[in-house]
Amino acid sequence: MPSGSHWTANSSKIITWLLEQPGKEEKRKTMAKVNRARSTSPPDGGWGWMIVAGCFLVTICTRAVTRCISIFFVEFQTYFTQDYAQTAWIHSIVDCVTMLCAPLGSVVSNHLSCQVGIMLGGLLASTGLILSSFATSLKHLYLTLGVLTGLGFALCYSPAIAMVGKYFSRRKALAYGIAMSGSGIGTFILAPVVQLLIEQFSWRGALLILGGFVLNLCVCGALMRPITLKDDHTTPEQNHVCRTQKEDIKRVSPYSSLTKEWAQTCLCCCLQQEYSFLLMSDFVVLAVSILFMAYGCSPLFVYLVPYALSVGVSHQQAAFLMSILGVIDIIGNITFGWLTDRRCLKNYQYVCYLFAVGMDGLCYLCLPMLQSLPLLVPFSCTFGYFDGAYVTLIPVVTTEIVGTTSLSSALGVVYFLHAVPYLVSPPIAGWLVDTTGSYTAAFLLCGFSMIFSSVLLGFARLLKRMRKTQLQFIAKESDPKLQLWTNGSVAYSVARELDQKHGEPVATAVPGYSLT
C-alpha cells in the first residue's frame, strides 16, 4: 500500500501528464471557456454610475478648464504686451492638441489600462498648468499651457468616454448625457471662480490653483474599474500566431533578432485589430461628416458675442447670451439622452443625431436675420439645446457603427478629426468677416457645413438600407424558401427548413452580393 506522500507525488504527475496530453488545441479551448466565463454583459447600473461620475469630473477638468483658459486672454495680452492673434494661439493650441492626440489616449488605455492612462494624463495636465504659472513669455505658454496640458487632457478624455459605453447598453444615451454635461456645468461654475482667482491671486496664482484642481483627474482615473465584455475577446485563431511566437521567445535570448521580430509582429497585429474599423465604409462616411460638423460648430462660440455687439446689444446682454447657451447645452445633454433612451426612440438614435446636427445648421442660416436681443435669446436656446444633443449622441452613433470592442480607438479617431476644423474654422470665419464686412458669409458657410454633414450621413444610411432591401428581394426571388440575413459586408441566405439530422439552420453565402 503506497504511503500518503508517495500517492500525492504520483497523483500530481498523473494530473500533469493528463493536462499535457490534449496538446495546445485543448489548452486553447480551455482558456477560451475560462475567458467566456469571466466575461459579462454591460451592467447598466451599479458601478457604472461611478464611471459616469468619474467621466463627468473628467469633462469638467478637461473641456470646462479649456474653455476657461479664454478668461486669461486679457491678462496674457496685457502682461506680455502682445497682439490679439499671437495671444489667441494659446487657446487654439490646447484645444487642437487635445483632439489631435486623442488616438494616443486610446492606445495608452488599450495597451496599459484606462486607469493608468487617465492618471498619467492628470499628472501631465497639472504639470503643464503649474509650469505655466512661471511663464516669462507667450512661447513658454505655447509649450506648457498649450502642448503639455493639451496632451494630458488627450490621455484622459476619450478613454473616460469609452468606459461609459462599456458599462451601459440599455441606458447608454442617458449615461452619456449626464457624463458629458460636465462641460457645460463646469464652465458655468468655473468661469466666475477663475475670474475671482485672477482678481485675488493674479493670473499666476490662478493657474497654480487650477493645476492643483486638475490633479483630481488622478482620482477620476482610480474610479475607472476595468470590465471585460463578451464581445471584447478576439477569436482564438487571431491570437494563435502571436501566442505561438510568444512561447518560442521564452526559449531564446531576450536580445535576439527573433525577439525584435516577434515584438514588431505582435505590435502590428494589435494595431491592425484595434483600428480595423478604419476600413469600414460606414465609419469612413462618419469621419467625413465629422469634419464638416466640427468646422461648423466651433466659430459660434468665438463670434456670437462680437456679432451681438455689432447689432447693438450691450456687453452684459451679449455675455448673457453665452450663459444661456451654456445652461441650455447642459439641458440638451441630459434630456435628449434620456429621450433617445425611451423605447419609442431607442431604435432611432442615429436619426435623432442627424436631426440635431441639421437643426444647428438651420439655426446658423437664420442667425444673420436676428439683430436684436429678443430674437437672439431664442436662437441661443435652440442652438444650445441641439448642440448638447448631438454631442451626447456622438459616442452612441460611433458605438452603433464599430461596436464596444473598438469604441475607445474609434472615439480617439473621431475626436482626432475635430482637431483641424477647430484650429482653422475660427480664422477662416474671421477672414470672411474682414473681407465682406459682415458676419453673414461666415455664418452661412458654417450652417451649410453642418447641414451637409447631416445630409451625408442620412444619404449613406438610406443607400445602405435600399441595398439591403434589394438583396433580400433577390434572395426571395431566386428561392422563396430562403431568407436573407447579413453579417458585416457579406450577405447570407438561410434556409427555413431545419437540417433533419442536427436540427440547425443551414447557412450558405450568396455569391456575387455584397453590402459594400
- For residues 264-280, give the mean pLDDT: 65
Q: Write down the pLDDT at residue 111.
A: 78
401-422 pLDDT, tens per residue? 887 777 777 877 887 888 788 7
Q: Is the pLDDT score of 513 beyond 50?
A: no
Q: Write down the pLDDT at residue 16.
A: 53
Higher pLDDT, 128 or 467: 128
Contact by Cβ (8 Å): 393, 336:
yes
Q: Is the pLDDT score of 462 beyond 80?
A: yes
Q: Write down the pLDDT at residue 396.
A: 79
437-450 pLDDT, tens per residue? 888 888 999 999 99
- For residues 94-106, give the mean pLDDT: 82
Q: Is the pLDDT score of 68 beyond 90?
A: no
DSSP symbols for 99-158 = HHTHHHHHHHHHHT-HHHHHHHHHHHHHHHHHHHTT--SHHHHIIIIIIIHHHHHHHHHH
Q: Write down the pLDDT at residue 222.
A: 85
Q: Is the pLDDT score of 188 beyond 70?
A: yes
Please give the share of the chain, as a percent, with pLDDT higher than 90.
Answer: 8
- For residues 199-227, give the mean pLDDT: 87
DSSP state of 235: P
H or E segment at 377? helix 373-402
Q: How far is it, in rounded angstroms, from Cα 157 to Cα 148?
A: 15
The residue behind cell 434556409 is: 495
How does the average pLDDT of the chain come out, rounded? 74
Q: Write down the pLDDT at residue 146.
A: 87
Pairing relation of β-strands 482-487 and 490-498?
A: antiparallel
What's the half-sphere exposure (Cβ side, CA atoms, 13 Å) at 275? 13
Q: Write down the pLDDT at residue 80.
A: 83
Q: Is the pLDDT score of 250 beyond 50?
A: no
Sorted by where each starts, the structural domains of the chain and their CATH numbers stand as 45-227+277-466 (1.20.1250.20)
Q: Is the pLDDT score of 423 beyond 50?
A: yes
pLDDT band at 242 (very low <50, low <70, confident <90, very high): very low
Most confident residue range from 19-23, 228-232, 294-298, 482-486: 294-298
- For residues 130-146, give the mean pLDDT: 89
At residue 313, the 3 state secondary structure works out as coil
